[in-house]
Chain A
Amino acid sequence: MSRRKDNYETSRWLKFKKWVDGETDLLSIGMEPEVPVSSEGKERRRDLARRKAYDQELIRLSAEHADKTAIMKARSIRYFQKFYKVMSVVLCLGIILVLLWTVASLPVTGNADNPANNEVAARYIEKGLQETGAVNIVTGMILDYRAFDTFGESCVLFIASCCVLVLLRLDADSKNENIRKMIAESDDRHFEPKNDIILQKCACVLVPVIMIFGIYIVLNGHLSPGGGFSGGAVLGSGLILYLNAYGYDRMSRLFTEKVYKRTTLCALTFYCLAKSYSFFTGANHLESGIPLGTPGAILSSGLILPLNICVGLVVACTMYAFYTLFRKGGM
């Protein structure tokens, strides 16, 4: 009849059956790093961790245990560390050498008849002014010829600011206890320099100049070096200086979270609709109907000026938002 084998407990069939049921792992060879889990060990590990000497800690632990396998493990870890350093230098040199070998076969820099200086660049230079209306050829290129890339780039900025919002924004009206505690902790208003005379006087003089300079850069994107991105960065830095000098209360009269959301929404929506109109009319071979104006005037080059303004607003708001989120978790 059915009689259990004598050594059923250690037989292979039982081991297989246990593995199928998920109770043991047939092939595991202890691949995870063994770290002591006791609470006292946790405290000690936290302290040691701050010294950032990973192998010294292991050697110390193994010396305390005075176990032969632990010493062997520590030694093998030390060898591995050295091997790791050597291999990383070798990898770095390998990548550099492969790329240098490539650069040695590339065309010489500065040569006028490189493959890169072909009919594409020629048309941008020769006919750029007539076709886009922009005196600055690079602005004409990124906002008219290759406008889809710039649209994608604005979306990169937008989605990065959304991700930073997810991570760092602390909602004041949230019901979570943890978040309320974090808001209270990060309220560093008593550390803020309250009415620091030097900072405020300097800001009083500098902030208007910075803002006007930023607006000048944005508006002149198509006439001289500049454009939405650089101008927006300057505007953002002006806002940050004002915030640092005068504090959140005075800033919230000018710029709150609502203003931020509405500005970014309007600017990006306008950008999206304007560019879609341009792409749609272009692809369907329709006339776009937007006048190009006289080159050299501020109000010229069709859609480029409004688009620069939109991009400038978005970048300024994003830079300011990054600052406030990193500092205090919101506006």
Chain B
Amino acid sequence: MIQHLSLNIEETAAVILFGIGFTILLLHRNLIKKIMGMNIMDTATYLFLASKGYITGRAVPIVVDGVQEVSAYINPVPSGLVLTGIVVSVSTTALMLSLTIRLYERYHSLDLDEILILAKEEERT
């Protein structure tokens, strides 16, 4: 199994980063660190996807010299998926950062547990 993992080294690295990012997003209390964890998780997924398309010894899928053989280029599909995914990741990061800014302006804290307690109290009064 270790040998198979070392053959798929990109996917192994991607999966380890995914687990780390997932846990940070779930369990850390600081909002900025959660957003960083989300970015690590998303980037790890794109690394995983991008390594799917790679074929050893072949070139980037841009047609040069009119060569259109399948054996000359790597698989173009995962590259397109990663393009879409990056834009989605940027959008959600921007949204979460703006929420963090507004929450910080209001409660002067970046700790999610504390913000929830302060919000609950503010509502009670």
Contacts and interface: CB of A to CB of B under 8 A. Distances in A.
A266 interface: no
The binding surface of chain B is classed by DSSP as: helix
Contacts of B88: 153, 156
A274 interface: no
Interface residues of B, number: 63
B99 to A, nearest CB: 6
Nearest to A224: B62
Q: Could you say which interface size class chain A belongs to? A: 35 or more
A125 B76 contact: yes
B15 A326 contact: no
Interface stretch (A5-13, A112-120, A195-203, A237-245): A112-120
B27 A103 contact: no
B51 to A, nearest CB: 5
Given A100-B12, A103-B15, A120 B77 contact: yes
Interface in B17-32: 18-20, 22-23, 26-27
Interface in A156-174: 156-157, 159-161, 163-164, 167-168
The binding surface of chain A is classed by DSSP as: helix
Contact of B75 (A96, A117, A163, A167): A117
A12 to B, nearest CB: 30
A260 interface: no
A299 interface: no
Interface of A: 33, 35, 37, 46, 49, 52, 54, 84, 88, 91-93, 95-96, 99-100, 102-106, 108-112, 114, 116-117, 120-122, 124-129, 135-138, 141-142, 146, 149-150, 153, 156-157, 159-161, 163-164, 167-168, 224-225, 227, 229, 295, 322, 325-326
19 contacts: A37-B124, A46-B108, A88-B23, A88-B27, A91-B27, A92-B20, A95-B19, A96-B19, A103-B4, A106-B11, A116-B78, A117-B55, A125-B61, A138-B79, A141-B80, A149-B84, A163-B95, A225-B62, A227-B83
